[in-house]
Amino acid sequence: MREQVLVPPDSACETDVGLMTVPLSQERAFPTWQRDIPREYFQLDAAALRERIAAARRTLGDRCVVLGHHYQREDIIQFADVRGDSLKLAQWAAAQPQAEDIVFCGVHFMAEAADILTPPHRAVILPNLAAGCSMADMAATRDVESAWEELVEAGIGGVVPVTYINSAASLKAFVGRHDGSVCTSTNAAKVLRWASERGERVFFFPDQHLGRNTAHAMGIPLDQMVVWDYTLPFGSLGGLTLEQLERARVILWKGYCSVHGRFTVEQVRQARARHPGVRVVVHPECELEVVQAADAYGSTELIARYVHEAPAGSVIGVGTEINLVSRLAHENPDKTVFCLDPVVCPCSTMYRIHPAYLAWVLEELVRGNAVNRIIVPEETAHWARVALERMLASA
């Protein structure tokens, strides 16, 4: 089953106006359809949209909070009460007792996390239900469950599952039920140590690069890490042999971020050639060779802090999504901050949170309608919360 969602011409990667067909996941905590957004919203220019969003925010007051992920465009971030990474935003929302409505300008798994961590009476709203995450979608819970079944049938024991927070609520719940934990790019090393103390091997998903970079920094040899290919049929052990699995300390899922996968060692070399003395900082979702070629690596929060704390006159090449890089450059005029990838393409799913969608959901809230509300089923929320609490306790 598929749905049709109106997507505006909002990035260099999406150039056609019209109905975009996007796949549905039965695992997501939102309806299998999105109510049609009135076309009048796409006939408004930027100034009119800003005025209507601001007016709706004034009317709603502090009963509504707007969260903006670091990768959102400036015409969304300007309306955010707070900006940050996914976990920070969800935790911040949970700590706002006055808020009745939470509008999460991010992607689906972020809104799910906010719903899990906030009381049931609060409405968590995702302005555009088509704002997903290709990396999160690479680890469908049914595929992970099948892989887990194969490991059990093959006699591979002592496996502790760990899922990156960039994953569906149903996958977090799977981890919670199987004595595993969630991790972030900030605390991945602590969580992997926690998991290693409880089992012989870690099953890490969905991002293989975060898992590999973290395990390698912990001193785990590359030949003790294997990649499970979820695209292969059941019974093929993810393309691995029994001997490889028995030797492995870390089983990595074959997932990746399409944005961070664009950064290369050659881009780092070119940056150093053009800017002698440049400092390079990248996200751990980049490939191992890119991380090794950089001066520093870490989460979006670490990257922002790295740039802000650098001395005046610094030249910094950054390997992460272009909206954050551009914002850091603007906020640090005493430094030269640039993106390592010269052919930049923003996170296209983040870009689906267009100002037209934000105006629509806010004006619907003014009318008393919570459209695009994200509701995680209670049992899923319970087990996902268990996994998140294990992360907080271990990290």
pLDDT in tens, 275-295: 999 999 999 999 999 999 999
119-142 residue pLDDT tens: 888 999 999 999 989 999 999 999
Inform me whether the pLDDT recorded for 394 exceeds 80: no
Domain boundary among 258, 277, 296: 258
Encode pLDDT of 295-334 as tens digits. Answer: 999 999 999 999 999 999 999 999 999 999 999 999 999 9
Domain containing residue 291: 260-339
Residue 386 lies in a domain: no
**Same domain membership, residue 119 and residue 25:** yes
Q: Is 282 helix (H, G, I), strand (E, B) or coil?
A: strand
Please tell me what DSSP assigns to residue 233. Answer: P
Whether residues 291 and 174 fall in one domain: no
CATH of the domain at 89: 3.40.50.10800
Whether the per-residue pLDDT at 212 is higher than 60: the answer is yes
Residue 229 pLDDT > 60: yes
Determine which of 79-93, 258-272, 348-362 has the lowest per-residue pLDDT on average: 79-93
Lowest-confidence region among 7-11, 191-195, 278-282, 311-315? 7-11
Residue 339 corresponds to which tokens in the numbers above?
Answer: 């993106």
Across the chain, mean pLDDT equals 90
Is 389 a domain residue? no
3-state secondary structure of 4: strand
What's the mean pLDDT in 131-154? 95
Amino acid identity of residue 186, one-letter, is T
Q: How many separate domains does the chain show?
A: 3
Q: How far apart are CA 161 and CA 260, in angstroms?
A: 24
- Given this model, what pLDDT does residue 351 score? 85
242 and 140 within one domain: yes
Rounded-to-integer distance, Cα 234 and Cα 223, Å: 24
User: What pLDDT shows up at residue 24?
Assistant: 34
Does 330 share its domain with 244?
no
Instruction: Identify the band that residue 29 occupies on the pLDDT scale cut at 50, 70 and 90.
Output: low
81 shares a domain with 116: yes
Tokens 């005046």 belong to 312
pLDDT band (50, 70, 90) for residue 87: confident
Distances (CA, A) of 307 to 63, 283, 334: 34, 13, 11
Q: In this structure, what CATH number is given to the domain that contains residue 242?
A: 3.40.50
Whether the predicted model's global pTM rises above the 0.75 cut: yes
Whether residue 278 sits in one domain with residue 228: no
* Mean pLDDT calculated for residue range 94-103: 90
Strands 64-69 and 101-105: parallel
* 234-245 residue pLDDT tens: 999 999 999 999
Q: What is the pLDDT of residue 345?
A: 65
pLDDT at 93 over 90: no
30 plus 96 within the same structural domain: yes
Q: Are residues 294 and 358 in the same domain?
A: no
Residue 217 lies in a domain: yes
Express each pLDDT in 335-346 by its tens digit. 999 999 988 767
Residues 124 and 11 in one domain: yes
Q: What is the mean pLDDT of residues 29-58?
A: 85
Q: What is the pLDDT of residues 250-268, one digit of tens each?
A: 999 999 999 999 999 999 9
| pLDDT(176) > 60 | yes
336 burial via Cβ count (<10 Å: 0-12, 13-18, 19+): middle
Are residues 126 and 6 part of one domain?
yes
* b/e code 7-26 from CB counts within 10 Å (16+ = b): bbebbeeeeeeeeeebeebe
Asked if 235 and 145 sit in the same domain, the reply is: yes
Looking at beta carbons, which pairs linking 145-152 to residues 24 or more positions away fall under 8 Å? 145/174, 146/234, 147/203, 147/228, 147/230, 147/238, 148/174, 148/178, 148/203, 150/234, 150/235, 150/237, 150/238, 151/203, 151/245, 151/251
Residue 203 has pLDDT above 90, yes or no: yes
Buried b / exposed e over 314-335, threshold 16 CB at 10 Å, is bbbbbbbbbbbbbbbbeebeeb
Q: Could you say which DSSP state residue 285 is in? A: T
Residue 27's Cβ-count burial label (10 Å; 0-12, 13-18, 19+) is: middle
